[in-house]
Amino acid sequence: MEKYAVGLMSGTSLDGIDAALVKIMGSGEKTKVELIDFTNEKLPEDIKDEIRSCCLVDKSNVELVCSLNFKLGYLFAEAVKGVCRKAGFELDRLDFIGSHGQTVFHIPRGYGNFVKSTLQIGEPAVIAYETGCTVVSNFRTMDMAAGGEGAPLVPYTEYLLYRGDRNRALQNIGGIGNVTVLPANCGLDDMYAFDTGPGNMIIDEVVKRLKGLTYDKDGSFAAEGEVNEQLLKELMNIPYIKAAPPKTTGRELFGSQFVDELLIKWGHLRDVDLIATVTAFTAHSIAENYRSFVFPKHKIDEVILGGGGSYNNTLVAMLKKLLPECRVLIQEDLGYSSDAKEAIAFAVLANETLNGNAGNVIGATGAVERVILGNITPGKNYFRRK
């Protein structure tokens, strides 16, 4: 039986709310997905500033988190309406929404008095009320309750949609970089995934500070610069890069405070050289993780890039040079959309939840068992659709 859903994703890069309208047939290993339409709703600058403040221990407070939770709920609801409007699709035909929410803090491993935990905001009750549609949200927490790190969660959907007769590495380059390894003809227990380190997050923040722009379009600034090898070596010595999986990271490590310290020490470099070097850091951190934790297990035939970083031509060229033994592709080479990939994933995960199927991968998150992910917030259509 076919279902219509919208998947929502607002990632650590803060480049907007991705909304993917999809048709889903079946569930589990019989899942088939068709992308109907996609939009990216840009976040207002004041909302971006509030999100950044929420992610910083010295600037965040409960009043800010409380208010922003609802503000984002309204923005997510508008994104659902927007993609349906663009597609000419009536909102009341929608069966459900899968919303990842906006991560404001993530503690994959406890320290001091702080237990492992995670917080994604974007109130699902607001989305459900504004759209009249049932919402599945808060996907990470059940995996963490089961001993996992709560991320990455996209690997299960990649298993459903991308497995085949080749050894594939699916490398997402959003704010953070993460890889899913799909050995040829693999079963669910054969695959694994982890965060490789920074994706676009540091690049975007440096470009914002130095050039007043939101990102390095096509990697043009990086292409003009020269990589500072001393700085690159220092960045590659950050302990996270060499840490063994399972591992996850985010804005708490590679956010604005990271760039503050970077500019204090290395701000004397030419703008384009600094941008080129942090771009190289993303590329080298990906390649280093492959050489340390992937290639010893599998010879990778194809590396398939997704996320905003796949449109950074300089970054892609660096990866091709660093991984000559692999065929490096982007999602569009396979007829998919790099932009829509993660939003589609959360529509698929929501479908699994509503069908009572587990949605995590033990080899990705480190959980002790597979569990059903997410909280269900009924909309007006909930009982009608059951």
Task: For residues 338 and 342, give the distance between their C-alpha atoms in angstroms, rounded to a whole number.
Answer: 8
pLDDT tens digits for range 133-166 = 999 999 999 999 999 999 889 999 899 888 899 9
Please report, as a single letter, which amino acid is at residue 200. Answer: N
Residues 6+ apart with CB under 8 A from 321: none
Q: 48-57, 293-302, 343-352: which has the minimum mean pLDDT?
A: 48-57
pLDDT tens digits for range 174-207 = 999 999 999 999 999 899 999 999 999 999 999 9
pLDDT for 338 equals 83
pLDDT tens digits for range 275-323 = 999 999 999 999 999 999 999 999 999 999 998 899 999 999 999 999 9
Examine the pLDDT at 384 and tell me if it is beyond 80.
Answer: no
Please report, as a single letter, which amino acid is at residue 160. Answer: L
Domain parsing of the chain, residue ranges:
2-147+342-357+373-385, 154-334
2-147+342-357+373-385 with 154-334: one CATH topology?
yes
Contacts made by residues 181-188, CB under 8 angstroms, sequence distance 24+: 181/294, 181/297, 181/298, 181/300, 182/158, 183/298, 184/301, 186/159, 188/156, 188/159, 188/361
pLDDT tens digits for range 69-90 = 999 999 999 999 999 999 999 9
Mean pLDDT across 374-385 = 88
| 3-class DSSP string for the chain | CEEEEEEEEECCCCCCEEEEEEEEECCHHHCEEEEEEEEEECCCHHHHHHHHHHCCCCCCCHHHHHHHHHHHHHHHHHHHHHHHHHHCCCHHHCCEEEEEEEEEEEECCCECCECCEEEEECCHHHHHHHHCCCEEECCHHHHHHCCCCCCCCHHHHHHHHHCCCCCEEEEEECCEEEEEEECCCCCHHHCEEEEEEECCHHHHHHHHHHHCCCCCHHHHHHHHCCCCHHHHHHHHCCHHHHCCCCCCCCHHHHCHHHHHHHHHHHCCCCHHHHHHHHHHHHHHHHHHHHHHHHCCCCCCCEEEEECHHHHCHHHHHHHHHHCCCCEEEEHHHHCCCCCCHHHHHHHHHHHHHHCCCCCCCHHHHCCCCCCCCCEEECCCCHHHHC
pLDDT for 204 equals 96
Of the pLDDT bands very low, low, confident and very high (cuts 50, 70, 90), residue 386 is: low
Annotated binding site: 11-18
User: pLDDT averaged over the chain?
Assistant: 95
What fold, for 2-147+342-357+373-385? Nucleotidyltransferase; domain 5 (3.30.420)
Examine the pLDDT at 14 and tell me if it is beyond 90.
Answer: no
pLDDT for 283 equals 98
Of the pLDDT bands very low, low, confident and very high (cuts 50, 70, 90), residue 23 is: very high
Q: Report the percentage of the chain scoring pLDDT > 70.
A: 99
Task: For residues 121 and 166, give the distance between their C-alpha atoms in angstroms, rounded to a whole number.
Answer: 37
pLDDT for 1 equals 82
pLDDT for 233 equals 98
pLDDT tens digits for range 29-39 = 999 999 999 99
What fold, for 154-334? Nucleotidyltransferase; domain 5 (3.30.420)
Examine the pLDDT at 383 and tell me if it is beyond 80.
Answer: no
Least Cα distance to 156 among 315, 355, 386, 328 occurs for 355
Annotated binding site for ATP: 11-18
Size of the chain, expressed as the number of residues it contains: 386
Strands 168-173 and 32-41: unpaired
